[in-house]
Amino acid sequence: MADPIYRAPKGTHDVLWPESARRRALVGVFADVVEAAGYTELVPPMFEHVEVFRRLGDTTDVVRKEMYEFEDRGGRQIALRPEQTASIVRSFGEHRPALPWKAWYAGPNFRYERAQKGRFRQFDQVGIEALGPEDAHLDVEVIATAWRFYECLGLQKVTLLVNSLGGSEDRARYVSALHDHFSANLDSLSEDSRTTASTNPLRVLDSNRPEDADLIDSAPSMLDHLSDEAAGHFEQVKVALTSLEIPFTIQPRLVRGLDYYVRTTFEFTSEVFEAAQNAIGGGGRYDGLAEAMGAPPTPGVGFAIGVDRTLMACDAEGVFEAPDTPVDVFVVDTTGGEAALLVTDELRRSGLRADRSWGERSMKAQMRAADRSGAAMAVIIGDSERESGTLTLRDLRGDTGQESVALSSITETLLARLK
Ligand code: AMP
């Protein structure tokens, strides 16, 4: 067994080919879907001043317990990003782009979590954020965009849960009602939830400890605490989702882990996973976040999709397989290798993907390597080809056999055959 120091740190893993090709393909599909809806890519830094994330709320677990924080050599307090909405909103405040502003992102986040299946310390997300309009149809556009993305991957067992947390005043009233409910029955709660009940009663609703189930079931519902305005907004969201024929379930206990959400919140779960780790994406409205980051008050809505878990769901449903990316041509050279050097260079410059064999290996060994490469054609250079200024082309997939081609016309011939 390798020395533990030379293994990837706990909660992280190497992504080898072909899984790496599949991830890149997933981001490609995502970019196509969101760019078709007017979102443009933003690439924020992977670390920020720790304050940027503190703005997400002190009771947010990812900030309070899970952040990778350090002081850099210049004495700055820095954190690796645990999520990207904060960075995007920080970037919005810094650059003040015209509204509405619709951005997408893809990349890793870092959380010091209890590592287990589907829960990592470094994990990738893709997401979008839309700042400006308060229009309920924007919430629906955001939800629908995620839904279409899952459809493009071929996923069919995705469930959409929606809720409204009301405006910030409704939310505060609801938190106080929840606080009263839990405080009156503290003894029936699990030990962990007893602490959470006083600091952040909403989070108790997320508990999946069996001891808490009854009190959670009997807790007041957020939907009874909505102002007329928030209830109207939520109604519009539901009507528009129905018009788009996107099925959804109302989940009044859906609070999500991040404290900044108001009004619409939603989550996508996959039916193929166990309940504890079944979320493959989620998001909502965060109308107060821009202001909290020192930007002009600007409403916003967005989602983040977990790439690792989405790919696990694809595995379970048998969809979105890794793309096959073999080279087009494999060059076999038994005359020393210089001819292979020149031919592969010429082929690559013409836009063909070309690989070759290495070392002074026999024709048979090199042909085996050609077969393994998955290339469609082999270019063979042996002593007789060398003497006659030709190359032999062999079809590795079909059975059109082989033909002799002049060295000077090899690229042209292969382009005609393969492109
Ligand atoms: P969040 O940013 O917590 O709202 O998470 C959005 C999505 O990212 C979740 O639905 C998961 O699919 C994924 N996710 C969150 N945390 C992790 C993690 N530690 N490991 C893997 N995926 C994660």
Cα angle: 270, vertex 272, 276; to 5 degrees: 70
- The predicted pLDDT at position 172 comes to 87
Distance from C-alpha of 306 to C-alpha of 390, rounded to nearest angstrom: 53
300-306 vs 122-131, strand pairing mode: antiparallel
- The predicted pLDDT at position 1 comes to 60
Ligand 1 neighbour 149 (Cβ under 6 A): no
Task: Strand 249-250: give its sheet, edge to edge.
Answer: 40-41, 101-110, 122-131, 300-306, 279-285, 262-270, 158-164, 249-250
Q: What is the dihedral of CA 23, 26, 28, 34, to 10 degrees?
A: -140
Q: Tell me the best of 123, 150, 280 to mutate to test the pocket of ligand 1, counting ligand atoms within 8 Å of each CB and taking the most.
A: 123
Element holding 139 (H helix, E strand): helix 136-153
Q: Which of 50, 76, 72 is nearest to 63 (CA)?
A: 50
Q: Which of 213, 319, 197, 188 is nearest to 275 (CA)?
A: 213
User: Residue 82 Cα, ligand 1 centroid: separation in angstroms?
Assistant: 10
**Encoding tokens for residue 1?**
């067994």
Q: Which long-range contacts link 371-376 to residues 24+ away (Cβ below 8 Å)?
A: 371/396, 373/326, 373/327, 373/330, 374/324, 374/326, 374/327, 375/326, 375/327, 375/328, 375/329, 375/330, 376/326, 376/328, 376/329, 376/418
- The neighbouring-strand residues paired with 158 are 270
**In this structure, what are the phi and psi dihedrals at residue 310, rounded to the nearest 5 degrees?**
-65, -40
The neighbour count for residue 118, using CB atoms within 10 Å, is: 17
Query: For 303, left (φ over 0), alpha (ψ -120 to 50), or beta?
Result: beta
Smallest CA separation from ligand 1 atom 15, residue:
306
Q: What is the pTM of this model?
A: 0.92
User: Residue 263 Cα, ligand 1 centroid: separation in angstroms?
Assistant: 21
**DSSP H helices in 200-264:** 201-204, 213-217, 228-243
DSSP 304-371: EEEHHHHHHHHHHHT-SPPPP---SEEEEE-S-SHHHHHHHHHHHHTT--EEE--SS--HHHHHHHHH
- The neighbouring-strand residues paired with 80 are 47
Distance of CA 185 to the CA centre of its chain: 40
Tell me which residue has tokens 């024929």: 245
**Encoding tokens for residue 334?**
């038994």
- The predicted pLDDT at position 70 comes to 97
Distance from C-alpha of 311 to C-alpha of 318, rounded to nearest angstrom: 10
Smallest CA separation from ligand 1 atom 14, residue:
306
- The predicted pLDDT at position 85 comes to 96
Distance of CA 244 to the CA centre of its chain: 24
Length of the chain: 419
Domains (ranges, CATH) in the chain?
9-167+227-317 (3.30.930.10), 329-418 (3.40.50.800)
**In this structure, what are the phi and psi dihedrals at residue 229, rounded to the nearest 5 degrees?**
-60, -50
User: Residue 258 Cα, ligand 1 centroid: separation in angstroms?
Assistant: 11
For the chain, which residues score pLDDT lower than 50? none
Q: Tell me the best of 125, 155, 206, 254 to mutate to test the pocket of ligand 1, counting ligand atoms within 8 Å of each CB and taking the most.
A: 125
Handedness of CA 110, 112, 116, 118 (dihedral sign): negative
Ligand 1 neighbour 382 (Cβ under 6 A): no
